[in-house]
Chains A and B, each alone.
Chain A
Amino acid sequence: MPDDVKLTREFQVVGHRKVRPDGVDKVTGRAKYGADLILPGMLYGKVLRSPHAHAIIKKIDVSKALKLPGVKAIVTRDDFPDQPKSKPPYGPRIADLWDTTRVIMAREKALFEGHPVAAVAATSESIAKQALKLIKVDYQVLPHVIDPIEAMKPDAPILHEDQFTLGVEPAPTKPSNVFRVMKAAKGDTAIGFGEADVVVEREFKTQAVHQGYIEPHACVANASEDGSVDVWMSTQGHFVARNQLAALLGMSVGKIRFISSEIGGGFGGKIPMYGEPLAVRLSQKAHRPVKMVMSRDEVFRATGPTAGATIRIKIGARKDGRITAAEAELFYQAGAFKGAEIAAAIGCMYSQYDLENVSIVGYDIVSNRPRIAAYRAPGVPMAAFGVESVLNEIADKLGIDTVDLRLKNAAKQGTVNVQGLRYGPIGFIEMLERVKEHPHYKAPLGKNQGRGFATGFWMHAGGLSCASINVQDDGTVTLIEGNPDIGGSRASMCAMAAEELGIPYEKVTTLIADTSSLGFTFLTAGSRTTYATGMAVVEATRNAIKVCCERAAAIWGVTAEQVKWEQGFAKPASANVGDFAPLSLSELAKKAPMMGGPIAGHAEINATGQGPAIGAHLVDVEVDPETGFVKPLRFTVFQDVGRAISPDYVEGQMQGGAVQGIGWALNEEYIYNDKGQLVNAGFLDYRIPVASDVPMIDTVMIEEPNPNHPYGVRGVGETPIVPPQAAVANAVENAIGRRLNELPLSPPKILKALSERPVARAAE
């Protein structure tokens, strides 16, 4: 966008700490989340879920349930049109409606425990639950497979009989749970390993982990007899949800209106739809609004975690620390339907390093678990865990400081990654130098304590965003945009508009439009919102300022080009224009009704130029040798944020990623019984970190403004989840002298490792 990039001047609002405009309602309980909406005559929807991990659904009998007083509608697979099955060729991104319609409601088979089989709408939640018990489902139970490596074996139960592995030669003749094999390479790793003085090859394993948003999925659907429907939903992207619902149900986009509620966390997990199509169909059948709210149990059993993975890493380096070759094999669990996030892992896992010889192979594997959903930097943290762990080991073997090893191999301007992408300025070397200068890096450690370091790379998204700005009669401003506010984005939108207009932050209010009130706006995801929608807000505001200048010009009898906008006032552009008293926004707004109408500005953009982001995490832990308990003591997150429009909320993103990474590294995992049923579907047994589990997460925001954004913004939300798993594991290894390559690093694993001999180090 900008040829007038504002990267150097002092700002009045941008970059200052401010109270978020949605804060008061959220802390007082007034804010309306997904479950808070109540409509007249509203029914309550509940879902019957498969108790089996893998079973043919022979028959569903709802007759008894329908007779239960208070039951108003029931839907099953027969209420949803089937979708054509997609066929090769497949691009890197999978969007297969055949799969999606089976995610929301099982058809031929139940493919995971918790798979929806039927849904009921009743006058109360308790009646709906009673009705579920009256639905008779005739299953033919099939053998199941949970672990993706087991699912690859020739004798594994096959989930989809028509799935033949793509990307291998010769083309297979038997169906497989491996959907496809993806590859990327650069240079020749055989030559590179031949030049290495040290080669480390290790296998790592990570577990599926849930995004852990506090607010469960919730929606209300209200269908009209005229064919239209309104849907209130807790979502990361109501425009995307609207389009998908239209495709799934064969409806016109223009007949569907989605309204996003406040959202209590998403992290990628609230991109997919689950209950919304069911609620819409129930509402259409019952002719009444239907609310559906998941329990925590349902969230765990039926919504996407991120993939568990097995990762094989092989890296060779010369004695001076220069990496000569790097390989990886990635075995990613996709859940019951194809689409593991392999492409992102391939594109990011080695991309902060300047490597000549790289080869990566990734396997997209289905098994009898819920379909995965995005989770902050989807697909990358698992691969980074392997890479950064091996680099730690190489540094140890060579007796090189772990940050120096990264410095020796750091990508810089002009580096070309494995995908062929040539970088502009990326600031990795500067960040590593900041790490070495930080007091944390040299702080002394106590007994049973260790320090770990890791870095991570992520490629941000841009995309479609729209914004409208309306100047009210008194000079206050209403800003309308289309991204649900998860992490404080409204504050940043208000700030950028206020900065452009030269008015106080408090005079701008930001609203999230419904899907019928604004042009298509892509997801609140991919670390794109402040970047892309921020661009749209700036452009819309500048268009409103243009109107202000035209009005001032008309008042003064000069041309619009002779008027400039400066710190909230229209002023003559030069002394030659004339001696006119500046006109404020509120003065112009007051005259607006008599000068052609209200002052407004609009923008509809496709944001580009976002670029990559790199972070580095430094963590100290203490390991209790008697219990195996790992306590994080100190954690510092370094990240190039471009410019922090709202520093508090940028720091919050960095801290949140670190905390989620600590949970991923130390506690979180799905535990299945021998029937393929999840046995820890609740926060008591699936242990996410709470405040008392973690230290204060310190942040070092490095601000190298992105020249492609009017205020220098880069995304910040996803990079912080990439390094912490490896950083924590490296710290544990440093504390106990034993390497653990399987997450989570739970106390039993630590105690087992402590019973084994410590690893030898070059420095010892």
Chain B
Amino acid sequence: MARVVLTGEARRFTGDVDQLEIDAKNVMQLFRQLGQKFPELGAVLEDGFAVAIDGEIYEDSLLQPIKPDSEVVLIPKISGG
């Protein structure tokens, strides 16, 4: 089970839940399961969030694999000028 860390903007949609374990093989499965647990978060995940899997950032990468012992952090998508 991957450990999912929820901070800042993601935490806004999850109440007191700041981390949880999810059995997901890739980012798409992760987003789907998070959306089932937290529907408001699910509505903004694809457009609003990137994931850091074991410290590596992946944006718009629904097929990115997640290992069972990975740490996954939701972070706001990165913009720039």
Which residues of A line the B interface, CB within 8 A?
88-93, 95, 167, 182-186, 211, 266-269, 271, 341, 343-344, 346-347, 373-378, 418-424, 459-464, 523, 525-528, 606, 608-611, 708, 718
The answer to whether B55 touches A378 (Cβ under 8 A) is no
Pick the most buried of A269, A343, A373: most chain B CB atoms within 10 A of its CB.
A343
What is the minimal beta-carbon distance from A567 to any residue of chain B, in angstroms? 33
Whole-angstrom CA separation of A268 from B81 in the bound complex = 4
**Smallest CB–CB gap between B14 and chain A, Å?**
12
Contact yes or no, A343 B9, CB < 8 A: yes
Which residues on B sit within 8 Å (CB–CB) of A271? 81
Question: Residues of A contacting B6 with CB < 8 Å?
Answer: 420
Contact A609 B56 (CB under 8 A): yes
Given the contacts A89-B13, A184-B8, A718 and B81 also touching, CB distance less than 8 Å:
yes
Neighbouring A residues of B58 by C-beta, 8 Å = 608
A91 and B80 contact, Cβ closer than 8 Å, known pairs A418-B8, A422-B71, A462-B59: no
Q: A186-B7, A420-B5 are in contact. Are A92 and B60 (CB under 8 A)?
A: no
On whether the beta carbons of B80 and A526 are closer than 8 Å, the reply is: yes
Q: Convert B30-74 into 0s and 1s, putting 1 for each residue whose CB lies closer than 8 angstroms to a CB of A.
A: 000000000011011101110010111111110010000001011
Nearest to A94 among chain B residues (CB) is: B48
- Chain B neighbourhood of A269, CB < 8 A: 81
Smallest CB–CB gap between A382 and chain B, Å?
Answer: 13
Taking the nearest CB of chain B, how far is it from the CB of A20, in angstroms? 21
Identify which of B54, B57, B64, B81 contacts A375 (C-beta below 8 A).
Answer: B81
B43 touches A526 (CB 8 A): no
Given A92-B76, A420-B5, A421-B73, are A610 and B81 neighbors across the interface (CB < 8 Å)? no
Cβ-closest chain A residue relative to B62: A606
Report the separation of the CA atoms of residues A186 and B18 in the bound assembly, to the nearest whole angstrom.
11
Residues of chain B at interface, number, CB under 8 A: 35
Nearest Cβ in chain A — how far from B2, in angstroms?
14
B44 to chain A: which residues have CB within 8 Å? 89-92
Q: Nearest-CB distance from B79 to chain A (Å)?
A: 6
A185 CA to B18 CA, complexed, in Å:
11
Minimum CB–CB distance from A359 to chain B (whole Å) comes to 11
B contacts, CB < 8 Å to A: 5-9, 12-13, 40-41, 43-45, 47-49, 52, 54-61, 64, 71, 73-81
Q: Which partner residue on chain B sits nearest A612 by CB separation?
A: B57
- Cβ contacts under 8 Å, B73 to chain A: 419-422
Given contacts A184-B7, A184-B9, contact A343 B76 (CB under 8 A): yes
Q: How far is the CA of A523 from the CA of B6 in the complex (A)?
A: 28
Give 29 CB contacts A-B under 8 Å. Answer: A88-B40, A89-B44, A91-B9, A91-B45, A92-B76, A184-B7, A184-B9, A185-B8, A211-B81, A267-B81, A375-B81, A378-B80, A419-B7, A419-B75, A420-B6, A420-B7, A420-B52, A421-B55, A421-B57, A422-B71, A459-B57, A460-B78, A460-B80, A461-B78, A462-B78, A525-B81, A606-B60, A609-B57, A718-B80
Residue of A nearest to B77 (CB): A93
Contact in complex: A374, B80 (CB < 8 Å): yes
Cα distance A761–B16 in the bound complex, in angstroms = 44
A95 engages B47 (CB within 8 Å): yes
Between A460, A527, A608, A610, the greatest number of chain B beta carbons within 10 A of the residue's beta carbon is seen for A608
Give A420 to B54 CA distance when docked, in angstroms: 11
Q: Which residues of B contact A182 (CB under 8 A)?
A: 8-9, 12
Residues of chain A within 8 A (CB-CB) of B9 are: 91-92, 182, 184, 343
- Looking at the complex, which one of A89, A93, A464 makes contact with B79 (CB distance below 8 Å)? A93
Contacts of B77 in A (CB 8 A): 91-93
When A420-B75, A464-B60 are in contact, do A525 and B80 touch as well, CB less than 8 Å? yes
Whether A608 touches B59, Cβ cut-off 8 Å, given contacts A167-B12, A184-B7, A378-B81, is yes
Cβ contact within 8 Å between B80 and A422: no
Known contacts A89-B43, A373-B81, A460-B78, then 6 further A-B pairs from the complex at CB < 8 Å, ordered by chain A residue: A88-B40, A343-B76, A423-B55, A462-B57, A463-B60, A608-B57
Contacts of B52 in A (CB 8 A): 420-422
Using known A-B contacts A182-B8, A184-B7, A418-B8, determine if residue A708 contacts B78 with beta carbons closer than 8 Å.
Answer: no
Q: Considering only CB atoms, which chain B residue lies closest to A527 in the complex?
A: B80
CA distance A761 to B9 in the complex (A): 39
What is the distance, in angstroms, from B50's C-beta to the closest C-beta of chain A? 9
A89/B80 in contact, CB under 8 A: no
Closest CB of chain A to B35's CB: distance in Å? 11
Bound Cα distance from A655 to B8, whole angstroms:
34
User: What's the least CB distance linking B67 to chain A, in Å?
Assistant: 15
Q: Tell me whether B78 and A526 are in contact (CB under 8 A).
A: yes
- Contact A268–B80 (Cβ < 8 Å): yes
CB-based nearest A residue for B40: A89
Q: Which residues of chain A are within 8 angstroms of B47 by Cβ–Cβ distance?
A: 91, 93, 95
Min CB distance, B47 to chain A, in Å? 5
Q: Is the CB of B8 within 8 A of A377?
A: no
Q: A419 touching B8 by the CB < 8 A rule?
A: yes
Tell me the bound Cα distance from A173 to B29 in angstroms.
Answer: 38
Which of B5, B8, B48, B55 sits near A93, CB closer than 8 Å? B48
B78 proximity list for chain A (CB < 8 A) = 344, 459-462, 526
Q: How far is the CB of B10 from chain A (nearest CB, A)?
A: 9
| CB–CB A92/B49 < 8 A | yes
CB distance from B43 to the nearest CB of A (A): 5
Task: For B7, list chain A residues within 8 Å (CB).
Answer: 184-186, 418-420
* C-alpha gap A125/B9 in the complex (Å): 48
Chain B contacts for A185, CB-based, 8 A: 7-8
In this complex, the member of A419, A523, A527 whose beta carbon has the largest number of chain B beta carbons within 10 angstroms is A419
How far is B76's CA from A115's CA once the two chains are assembled, in angstroms?
A: 31
Contact B71 A526 (CB under 8 A): no
Q: How far is the CA of A142 from the CA of B45 in the complex (A)?
A: 39
Q: State which of A346, A376, A708 has its C-beta within 8 Å of the C-beta of B81.
A: A376
* Residue pair B79, A378 in contact (C-beta under 8 Å): yes
Residue from B9, B43, B54, B81 having most chain A Cβ neighbours under 10 A: B81
CB-CB under 8 A from B41, the residues of chain A are: 89
Contact A611 B57 (CB under 8 A): yes
The CA of A609 and the CA of B79, in the complex, are separated in Å by 15
When C-beta atoms are compared, the residue in chain B nearest to A166 turns out to be B12
Q: In the complex, how many angstroms separate the beta carbon of B20 from the nearest chain A beta carbon?
A: 13
Q: Do B79 and A374 have beta carbons less than 8 Å apart?
A: yes
Chain A contacts for B48, CB-based, 8 A: 90-93
Cα A419 to Cα B72 in complex, Å, equals 12
- What is the CA–CA distance of A424 and B54 in the complex, to the nearest angstrom? 9
Please report the C-alpha to C-alpha distance between residue A423 and residue B47 in the assembled complex, in whole angstroms.
24
CA distance A95 to B44 in the complex (A): 12
Which B residues lie within 8 Å of A186 (CB)? 7
- Nearest chain A CB to B77 CB, angstrom units: 5
CA distance A186 to B5 in the complex (A): 12
* Inter-chain contact A461/B80, CB cutoff 8 Å: yes
Q: List chain B residues, Cβ under 8 A from A341.
A: 79
Interfacial chain B residues near A375, Cβ < 8 Å: 81
Query: In whole Å, how far is B62's beta carbon from the nearest beta carbon of chain A?
Result: 10
A374 vs B13: C-alpha distance when bound (angstroms):
26
A460 to chain B: closest CB distance in Å?
7
Q: How close is A136's CB to chain B, nearest CB, in angstroms?
A: 39
What are the residues of chain B within 8 A of A211 when measuring CB–CB? 81
Chain A residues contacting B56 (CB-CB under 8 Å) are 424, 608-609, 611, 708
In the A-B complex, the 10 residue pairs with the smallest Cβ-Cβ separation, listed nearest first, are: A91-B48, A268-B81, A526-B80, A91-B44, A92-B76, A184-B8, A374-B81, A420-B73, A420-B7, A343-B76
